[in-house]
Amino acid sequence: MTAKIKVIISGAFGKMGMETAKAVQNDDELELVGLMDIRAREEQGVNLPGFICTSVQTENDLDSLIKKVTPNVMVDFTNPQAVYNNVKTALKAGVCCVVGTTGLNEVELKQIEKLAIENGVGAAIIPNFAIGAVLMMKLAQEAARYFPDVEIIEMHHDQKIDSPSGTAIKTAEMINSQRAPKQAQNSRNFERLTGSRGGEIDGIRIHSVRLPGFVAHQEVIFGGIGQTLRIRHDSIERIGFMPGVLLTIKKMVGVKGLVYGMDNLL
């Protein structure tokens, strides 16, 4: 019988952390062995809304948790201020990382890749775990060969800290891999209100919306002569991310180095 993959979750008391804990606990190939959250008390077992487990170690210190339960994989759903140090701690301990927290910069990604290789484990940085979102990005990448004029609108809940989203950045990078650098055609454009045209990545405008009621949504709008093309994905509930989270955990065991984007695992 194949041994189960031992998993810990960092940021376990957040909405994505709790959803991930339930998904891991209910998967026959995985074993949930630890939960880390800065709001946690050191205790055995936890009782969260919709989730009861009496055999999981819960702590507020990641290094201590790793030493106690020796996991194979850490899943991180914390925040942009904490994620980099969490990943460094896990990688140095030889623990594979699956990261859904956005906000890592290029310097941090290069350092994570270096640490992963040095310690013989993998680090998956996944801007969006929804399989539909991955398909949306790949379809946008393909469309960019024929529609080079494009803008992105991404919409998230009002508790999301960073903008634009990691999904929007990844989408822009994939689109730009299929087209020559292109600036806006209207050179006379000016903003009466600074920021009204959104941010920009290599000629692609990105607009971020933060409102209650949203979960995670993105629309990629292409413009052509006499026509437009819209590619949109909507995450209605956080449970929709779970198949991608579980798939990534299983795929990353045995991988060495950095994987950026779930499209590289499908």
| Residue 16 vs residues 11, 27, 73, 76, 115: alpha-carbon distances, Å | 8, 17, 16, 9, 26
The pLDDT mean for the chain works out to 91
- Domains in the chain (CATH in brackets) are 5-125+239-264 (3.40.50.720), 131-235 (3.30.360.10)
pLDDT at 215: 94
Whole-angstrom Cα distance, residue 163 to residue 80?
A: 11
Whole-angstrom Cα distance, residue 34 to residue 55?
A: 9
Sign of the torsion angle spanned by Cα atoms 212, 218, 223, 226: negative
The band of 66, judged by pLDDT with boundaries at 50, 70 and 90, is very high
* Single-letter residue type at 52: I
DSSP states of 74-120: EEE-S-TTTHHHHHHHHHHTT-EEEE------HHHHHHHHHHHHHTT
Task: Give pLDDT tens digits for 77-130.
Answer: 999 999 999 999 999 999 999 999 988 999 999 999 999 999 999 999 999 999
Task: Give pLDDT tens digits for 16-59.
Answer: 999 999 999 999 999 999 999 988 765 555 556 556 565 788 99
Whether the Cβ atoms of residue 258 and residue 125 lie closer than 8 Å to each other = yes
Q: Which positions are annotated as active-site residues? A: 156, 160
- The strand pair at 204-210 and 199-201 is best described as antiparallel
